Amino acid sequence: MSEALQHYGGEHEEEDEHYVLRLFITGASMNSIRAVINLKEICEKYIKDRYTLEIVDVHQEKWRAEKEQLIALPLLIKISPVPERRLIGDMSDTEKVLRGLGIPQN
Amino acid at 27: G
Q: Which of 12, 69, 79, 80 binds other proteins (CB under 8 A)?
A: 69
Mode of pairing for the β-strands spanning 19-25 and 51-57: parallel
Least spacing, CB of residue 14 vs other proteins, in Å: 18
- Considering the complex, state which of residue 34 and residue 50 has its C-beta at the smaller distance from other proteins: 34
Q: How many residues does the chain have?
A: 106
CB proximity list for 2: less than 8 A, separation 6 or greater = 48, 49
Residues that bind other proteins (CB under 8 A): 24, 26, 29, 31, 34-35, 38, 58-59, 62-63, 65-66, 69-76, 85-93, 96-97, 99-100
